[in-house]
């Protein structure tokens, strides 16, 4: 790695989408200002916050690029806005409720510079209120096509080695620009039909099918205030979140599933899982099924995107 701050160091753009993030944004930006990797720019897209988020950024960090939207266009579209506002070689997609340790970016740049087929990476995300407990060490994809945070709620000490993973959590995801360009569909890196939730899983699946690797690097450390997680009771989550999570799972499968021989072998088990899942939702959370009205409208577009993805696919691992 070249000496920090030299012109030949690759430019890293930190892209943050905020929505009523006043409780977190100042701490997040203060941690960015302390990063050892100095060739940075920060782009914030605010999705029409009704709190003091914009005022905090303008007063405390006037040099940052701030794009204030007049309406909430969603996480996916907001991140695409931020990514499109820079030509940086690397992009850090960062949640406002994440606090980076000082070498987070430097460690991930070093990893990516030495491994050109790694398209995405993530560090060790620890729970802010329990820093010895893991929030995420990447994403895993289960046979049921349910994605989970790898290592969530397990001791950090169990995940001390770098490793290849299915994908990276959008809370603090480090992406190579070349991969972003390669896997974008209709000019969109994050699929804006998703609005929010599971867009990072969709990116991970698409990237793997197109031959890119994702890695976990424990030397890069960060704290995350997990607002919704695997242990959060469904009823505590807003209906909008539950519906987006439900519909985006099916959009993701329509776009990325291989439907190869192994899928047909798994089909009976998958059908049983789907019957159980939707039966539970019908009995316990029927309002979520209102997502089908939007899902049926979006599925034709997802199938069209699938054809484009498959036309340039290199491998099918999952």
> Where are the chain's structural domains?
12-224, 234-311
Whether the predicted pLDDT of 313 surpasses 60:
yes
**Separation of alpha carbons 193 and 303, rounded Å:** 12
Q: Which of 183, 145, 186, 187 is nearest to 166 (CA)?
A: 145
Confidence band for 234, pLDDT divided at 50, 70 and 90: low
DSSP sequence for 274-301: HHHHHHHHHHH-GGGGGHHHHHHHHHHH
Query: What would the mean pLDDT of 38-62 be, rounded to a whole number?
Result: 97
pLDDT digits (tens, 9 = 90+) for 258-267: 888 888 999 9
Q: Considering the domain delimited by 12-224, tell me its CATH architecture.
A: Alpha-Beta Complex (3.90)
- Measured in degrees and rounded to the nearest 5, phi and psi for residue 103 equal -105, 15
Instruction: Classify burial at 52, counting beta carbons within 10 Å of its beta carbon; exposed 0-12, middle 13-18, buried 19 or more.
Output: middle
**Separation of alpha carbons 202 and 191, rounded Å:** 8
Query: What would the mean pLDDT of 247-253 be, rounded to a whole number?
Result: 96
Q: What is the pLDDT of residue 261?
A: 81
The helix/strand/coil state of 317 is: coil
Q: Which two tokens stand for residue 179?
A: 């991969």
Q: Any alpha helices (H) in the chain, and if so which ranges?
A: 25-33, 53-60, 75-84, 104-113, 177-183, 199-209, 239-256, 261-284, 291-311
The CB density around residue 250, as the number of other CB atoms within 10 Å, is 18
Q: Which of 208, 134, 130, 135 is nearest to 171 (CA)?
A: 135
The CB density around residue 161, as the number of other CB atoms within 10 Å, is 9
Instruction: Tell me what the pLDDT averaged over the chain comes to.
Output: 93
**Separation of alpha carbons 232 and 209, rounded Å:** 31
**Separation of alpha carbons 162 and 122, rounded Å:** 10
Q: What is the pLDDT of residue 2?
A: 41
Query: What would the mean pLDDT of 127-152 be, rounded to a whole number?
Result: 96
**DSSP percent split of the chain into helix, strand, coil, nearest 5:** 40, 25, 35
**Separation of alpha carbons 89 and 154, rounded Å:** 33
Q: What is the DSSP letter of 228?
A: S
Confidence band for 52, pLDDT divided at 50, 70 and 90: very high
Residues 6+ apart with CB under 8 A from 269: 143
Confidence band for 255, pLDDT divided at 50, 70 and 90: very high
Whether the predicted pLDDT of 153 surpasses 70:
yes
pLDDT digits (tens, 9 = 90+) for 98-117: 999 999 999 999 999 999 99
Question: Where does residue 228 fall: left (phi above 0), alpha (psi -120 to 50 degrees), or beta otherwise?
Answer: beta
Q: Which of 104, 24, 97, 105 is nearest to 57 (CA)?
A: 24
Whether the predicted pLDDT of 4 surpasses 50:
no
**Separation of alpha carbons 318 and 308, rounded Å:** 18
């Amino acid at each position: 790695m070249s000496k920090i701050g030299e012109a030949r160091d690759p430019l890293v753009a930190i892209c943050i989408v905020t929505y009523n993030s006043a409780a977190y944004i100042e701490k997040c930006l203060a941690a960015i200002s302390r990063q050892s990797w100095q060739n940075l720019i920060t782009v914030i897209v605010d999705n029409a916050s009704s709190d003091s988020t914009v005022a905090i950024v303008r007063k405390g960090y006037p040099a940052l690029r701030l794009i204030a939207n007049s309406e909430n266009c969603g996480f996916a579209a907001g991140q695409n806005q931020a990514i499109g506002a820079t030509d940086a070689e690397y992009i850090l997609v960062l949640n406002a409720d994440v606090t980076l340790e000082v070498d987070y970016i430097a460690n991930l740049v070093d990893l990516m510079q030495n491994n050109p087929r790694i398209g995405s990476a993530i560090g060790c995300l620890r729970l802010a209120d329990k820093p010895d407990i893991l929030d995420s060490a990447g994403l895993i994809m289960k046979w049921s096509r349910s994605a989970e945070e790898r290592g969530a709620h397990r001791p950090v000490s169990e995940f001390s080695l770098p490793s290849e993973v299915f994908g990276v959590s959008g809370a603090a995801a480090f992406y190579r620009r070349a991969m972003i360009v390669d896997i974008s569909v209709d000019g969109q890196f994050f699929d804006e039909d998703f609005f929010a939730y599971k867009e990072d899983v969709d990116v991970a699946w698409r990237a793997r099918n197109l031959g890119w690797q994702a890695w976990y690097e424990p030397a890069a450390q960060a704290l995350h205030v997990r607002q919704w997680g695997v242990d959060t009771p469904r009823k505590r989550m807003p209906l909008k979140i539950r519906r987006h999570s439900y519909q985006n799972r099916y959009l993701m499968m329509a776009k990325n599933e291989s439907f190869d021989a192994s899928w047909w072998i798994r089909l009976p088990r998958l059908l049983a899982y789907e019957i159980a899942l939707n039966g539970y939702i019908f009995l316990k959370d029927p309002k979520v099924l209102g997502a089908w009205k939007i899902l049926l409208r979006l599925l034709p577009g997802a199938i069209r995107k699938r054809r484009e993805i498959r036309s340039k696919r290199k491998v099918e691992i999952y």
